[in-house]
Chains A and B, each alone.
Chain A
Amino acid sequence: MSEGGASKGKPRPFNRRVLLAGLVVVAPLVAVLVMNLGRNPHLIASPLVGRAAPDFVLRPLDGGEPVTLASLRGRPVVLNFWATWCVPCFEEHAVLVSAARATGDRAHFIGVVYQDDEEQVRAFLARQGSAYPSLLDPGSRTAIAFGIFGVPETFFIDGEGRIAAKHVGPLDAPSLEAKLRLSGLAP
């Protein structure tokens, strides 16, 4: 890289300058490109991971007292944003239900309904079964506070209320297990 093609005869002074200017422009672009080759450009890292989870006060679908995040402290929380109109949510529903049953009371599993009709959600859960509460989020205020881009998105919140991890897209059993371990819940 030190002399390039300038070894033969008298080098023309301009070529080297062009090479330098080109390097200054191109090298950072190439570096950024190479370092991001394996990344999905549609995934934007959440600035919330590692921070305290936004608190919420949400009404459960089946009535009863509103649920706050603060009331869930002490145990890890798996917070799943979902909707009945979302096909990947349908696929991951069984994974979440069986994981919630297997985990028992060592963790809270919570669903947050994202832009959906209450009756549709009720019918969906009656048909597919449920093992944990689903909360209603009118006006998507909680979805906005969690920076939701689409459903499904799942947040793993540790016992101190800190967001340990975020999963975008449907969860399968292995990735759910790995993320649970991250949030301080070794199975």
Chain B
Amino acid sequence: MRRTGGSLRRAAGLALIAAGAWLGAPLAVAQGPSAGGEPSRVVGPPRGSALAGDALSARAEDVAGLLRCPVCQGLSVADSPATMAVNMKAQVKDMLAQGYDEEQILAYFEHSYGEFVRLEPPLRGVNWLVWLGPLLALAAGGALVAWTLRSRRRVGGQDPLAPLPGPGTLPDDPELARHLRRVRELAYGWAHGRPPGSSS
């Protein structure tokens, strides 16, 4: 009883922590530093090398594929024909041409739109749950199954793979044994419910 109460409390605590982490994450993001509209004022001076020509177009397509179109339903900026997406892609291209790297560009859009604008949740904070949660759940489930099977075998004393008792055996309970003998007498015609050939 005490053990159960403790694990229930632990479970409730874990649930609260999980819920708190989910709900608290947006607040933590909202408290970051402030900056103006010029990309350099938000993400600092360009960190990469300036691109041009075909390399620029290809890279712009890649980075735009990582941004969510804010006026669409689940489409990336690269895939959407909406004016807003076209304008965002043009800005991505401009920033690449100025030498901003991918992370800076994503961070610039995130500054105004929030983490929502990234199609892939970045590996940080509570987002680790999204990436590692399924693996953890699988491992925990596997451990639970293994543990349950093992403890059943140990506690029950009945190995499911052990050979079955033979037709002549009787249960320990004398009342039940009496009925079983009567059934065997009626069903098989065994005198006193004893298999033919047995001495006792």
Contacts and interface: CB of A to CB of B under 8 A. Distances in A.
Contacts of B121: none
B50 interface: no
A115 B83 contact: yes
Contact of B84 (A49, A51, A115, A145): A115
B16 to A, nearest CB: 8
Contacts of B19: 27-28, 31-32
B142 interface: no
Task: Assign chain A's interface to a size class.
Answer: 35 or more
Interface residues of B, number: 44
Contacts, number: 113
B113 A147 contact: yes
A156 B116 CA distance: 22
B34 interface: yes
Contact of A147 (B4, B23, B87, B114): B114
Among A27, A47, A53, A162, max chain B CB count under 10 A is at A47
Given A47-B30, A147-B114, A20 B11 contact: yes
Contacts of A13: 151, 155
Interface string A43-56: 01111111111111
A101 interface: no
A41 B24 CA distance: 17
B138 interface: no
A52 B8 contact: no
Contact of A144 (B5, B32, B35, B112): B112
Contacts of A126: none
A24 B14 contact: yes
B22 A142 contact: no
Given A24-B14, A147-B114, A52 B34 contact: yes
A46 B114 contact: yes
Nearest to B1: A3
Nearest to B38: A55
B15 A146 contact: no
B112 A47 contact: yes
A4 to B, nearest CB: 9
8 contacts: A21-B144, A31-B15, A32-B23, A44-B116, A47-B111, A55-B41, A140-B87, A141-B37
Interface of A: 1-3, 13-14, 16-17, 20-21, 23-24, 27-28, 31-32, 35, 44-56, 115, 139-150, 162
